[in-house]
Chain A
């Protein structure tokens, strides 16, 4: 099985001034195939560093990380990435963005047309294939980014605050979409977010990370993602257990922030 295994991962940066910053310290976890993981933590806790290491954009300074028992060494198609701002290629149309990965592997645009249509259907962008991406709204751009990532059939989907720049309504719709895709494709998904509600909703598992040095602070196993598949997300949020967990985690993060900044008088 394509499990993501992190073993004592360490990451130390050296600043231009010569100081070393411990961004990740002894991070170990196993993410089984098909699991939905959300990662939460105050700023500077190393969430994005962890994601960049998994994506292969950074090499850890210590420890190892492997997917499907293959050591991760550089970016790869099996680990798809969705960025905060879509990072779409604005000189291409929606369809050209979506089949970018296939074309890089030498596929013909004609052959990919059906697959593109299929994925545009899934993310709710039927008939938008020939629209230039710069004409799309932020939510639509994220749907394109999702389709572009999924069409490559990756084992793991890594999302770096994918919904952070969206308005509340669009955000909720996109959260449903992520759950739907998780359910339908059975992919392993790892989402980094700074919204506690989003982390609870989109986390079958939830890691809360702590800063200085960046480390795993607490892990939760939550039922809300399963619930969200069947019912309205607002109903899930109104559930008593959701509220309890939310308050607990908020408290936890507040305490970490206060530790960093010093108590506000």
Chain B
């Protein structure tokens, strides 16, 4: 059990979730049992309520997350990854030998090679009759093919196996058996070296440091497998070096080489086009020769001792892993720990599904304003002069409207300020003023962009929409303009708009404005044109002017549609913004996610996904609340 706060928390949560699911399940069953007498299939009432199923659902999702991200495994078996890393080293060292035998593949490697090579030799032989060469030449080329086949077949014959090769194979098998005996022995490899143990224990634990899984062994089992892996990597190297090179093989090879040298050059009498065809055939003969002369083809039974030893080694290895094997199979679903050249890592769902504890850790780490992401905090505040904020609302050009001219520098190199300069200073915030805290950071930037784009969309879209709902001219005139750009997915506009406006806020805000504007126009138009005529008649009879009818009757009557439009706009803007931030920009949640993607930083990616989801949900909840408060009459009029 991992006794750090992180490990204890996840362990406790894991057990609590299992109990919760179990309890809610029983509770739900009990309720269903009491309802059974009057249950009607399809009765919508039966889908109401049932908070316990909500708890069961949420708990199941959390439980699956903790389980499939291997957070539970890390919490309950914190040493397992380190030990599995040593096991993975053995597996990795054995891989070159395993691949020779039909353990993971269907066929013995040698059988596979022989089948492929004889198929290709047959193809070459079939081509022979169509070659545009003289009959004498054809006979020589045919002889080459025969010699190649002869060499190949002789290698598969156990009579031609060299005694030295046989000894080398037996030696490998015996060395494997030694490793097997070592693995089975309780006190192999003896007391671990104190320095090595200290070094191992000094490593960051699983999931704590920059390398995912501590690589050096720390437990007796770990040291055993680590030592075995070192031995095995030497043995497999020696195994790979063994070749089926007997005297018979050598004489066959000499004959093949002599024959290939003989047919190498085309006769001068051949047409250039025909010579090209012949050259290609000869080249293929050469390729076949190179493939066969590497000596990796053995008689089928020759390698049996190694295979038997290997199988036994793997059986003993599994026995030795004991409970660790079950941790690997059950607590680390859909994947395992694999060893690379220098490090071990998680492979499977544990890799791409971040552990909840790590995700929260990443969020806590990035939420620290001194760290943030790319030196920008996620959500914090900064001190800005009041003047700068005021200047944001004052257009700079009002300084240009002040009569007079801007001052020029004098003879003595000084510049005298005049009224125009002073107005400009105010308009640009270029004066000292007290500082006030202003929100800042990636999250804030994203929110501001959405809200500004949305605000502009509402301010301009609602009046135009109402106008279009009331005027035949406006409807006809503006409808095509909006329907021309609205059906284009906002993201299709993004590259164009971001190129025109640059990577700053302007382009993103304009893009969001476009999105919100179309939605607001359509919803306001629907609202306005849906006003009941009798209400307008009533207002007329009560003495209201056209203007009053617009403000006091048509606008409030359109509010349900307008607010629904805003609710939809926020959602669509939020989605568009993230994509726009991914395309270009230096701040924002989408930017964070995009950078994290380039670094394969799964924890940060998931953190941004969760943040985006929660903020989107928050926006929607706010809009639902607003709708409930402002238009309680909706659907009841």
Q: Which residues of A contact B (CB under 8 A)?
A: 55-57, 74-77, 79-81, 83-85, 87, 89-91, 100-101, 104-105, 132-135, 145, 148-149, 152
Decide: A87 and B543 in contact? CB cutoff 8 A. no
User: Nearest chain-B residue to A148 (Cβ)?
Assistant: B542
User: Given A75-B537, A81-B537, A104-B542, does the pair A91, B548 have CB atoms closer than 8 Å?
Assistant: no
Cβ of B631 and Cβ of A91 under 8 Å apart? yes
Which residue from chain A places its CB closest to the CB of B556 in the assembled complex?
A: A91
Q: For A100, what are the chain B residues with a Cβ–Cβ distance below 8 Å?
A: 539, 542, 544, 552
Q: Which residues of A are found within 8 Å of B637, using beta-carbon distances?
A: 90, 134
List of B residues within 8 angstroms of A145 by Cβ: 538
Tell me whether B540 is interfacial, beta carbon within 8 Å.
Answer: yes
How far, in angstroms, from A91 to B532 measured CA to CA in the complex? 14
The residue that A91 contacts in the complex, of B534, B538, B541, B559, with Cβ under 8 A, is B559
Cβ of A132 and Cβ of B633 under 8 Å apart?
A: yes
Chain B at the A interface: SS class: helix
Give the B interface residue count (CB, 8 A). 23
Q: How far is the CB of A220 from chain B (nearest CB, A)?
A: 28
Q: Which of B534, B548, B552, B556 contacts A83 (CB 8 A)?
A: B534
| Alpha-carbon separation in the docked complex, A77 to B542 (Å) | 5
Contact across chains for A87 and B534 when beta carbons are under 8 A apart = yes
B537 and A152 contact, CB distance less than 8 A:
no
Q: In the assembly, what is the distance between CA of A109 and CA of B556, in Å?
A: 19
Chain B proximity of A238: nearest CB distance (Å): 36
Residues in A with CB closer than 8 Å to B158 are none
Q: Could you list some 26 contacts between A and B, CB below 8 A? A: A55-B537, A57-B537, A57-B540, A79-B541, A81-B538, A83-B538, A87-B538, A89-B535, A89-B553, A89-B556, A89-B557, A90-B636, A91-B633, A100-B539, A104-B539, A104-B545, A105-B543, A132-B632, A132-B633, A133-B633, A134-B636, A134-B637, A145-B538, A148-B538, A149-B541, A149-B542
CB-CB nearest 8 A-B residue pairs = A101-B542, A75-B540, A87-B534, A81-B541, A77-B543, A90-B633, A134-B633, A90-B637
The interface residues of chain B lying within 8 Å CB-to-CB of A55 are 537, 541
C-alpha spacing A105/B632, complex, angstroms: 28
Could you say which of B535, B544, B631, B632 contacts A104, with CB atoms under 8 Å apart? B544
Query: Which residue of chain B has the shortest Cβ distance to A99 in the bound complex?
Result: B542
With A and B bound together, what is the CA distance between A203 and B540 in angstroms? Answer: 27
Q: Considering the chains assembled together, what is the distance between the CA atoms of A55 and B548 in angstroms? A: 19
Query: Could you say which residues of chain A place their CB within 8 Å of the CB of B544?
Result: 100-101, 104
Closest to A77 in B: B543
Contacts of B632 in A (CB 8 A): 132, 134
Contacts of B553 in A (CB 8 A): 89
**Beyond A77-B543, A91-B557, 13 extra complex contacts between A and B, CB < 8 Å:** A57-B537, A57-B540, A76-B541, A77-B541, A84-B534, A87-B538, A89-B557, A100-B544, A104-B539, A104-B544, A104-B545, A104-B548, A134-B637
CB interface residues, B 120-147, toward A, < 8 Å: none
Output the least CB separation between B546 and chain A (Å): 11
Q: How far is the CB of B57 from chain A (nearest CB, A)?
A: 36
Contact with A along B220-253 (1 / 0, CB 8 A): 0000000000000000000000000000000000
Q: What's the Cα separation between A57 and B556 when bound, in Å?
A: 22
A80 nearest in chain B by CB position? B541
Q: Are A85 and B541 in contact (CB under 8 A)?
A: no
Which of the listed residues A56, A80, A91, A100 has the most CB atoms from chain B within 10 Å of its own CB?
A: A91
**Whole-angstrom distance between the Cβ of B125 and the nearest chain A Cβ:** 86
Which B residue sits closest to A103, measured CB to CB? B552
Residues from chain A with Cβ under 8 Å of B541 in the complex = 55, 75-77, 79-81, 149
Which B residues touch A75, using CB under 8 A? 537, 540-541
Q: Please name the residue on chain B nearest to A52 by beta carbon.
A: B537
Measured between C-beta atoms, what is the minimum distance from B539 to chain A in Å? 7
In the bound complex, how far is the Cα of B631 from the Cα of A79, in angstroms?
Answer: 31
| Bound CA–CA A36/B50 (angstroms) | 60
CB distance from A112 to the nearest CB of B (A): 13
Residues of A within 8 A of B537 (CB): 55, 57, 75, 81, 83, 87
In the bound complex, how far is the Cα of B463 from the Cα of A185, in angstroms? 43
Cα separation A149 to B544 with both chains bound (whole Å): 13
Neighbouring A residues of B559 by C-beta, 8 Å:
91
- Complex CA gap A261/B553 in Å reads 41
CB neighbours of B538 from chain A (8 A): 81, 83, 87, 145, 148
> 8 Å CB contacts to A: which residues of B155-171?
none
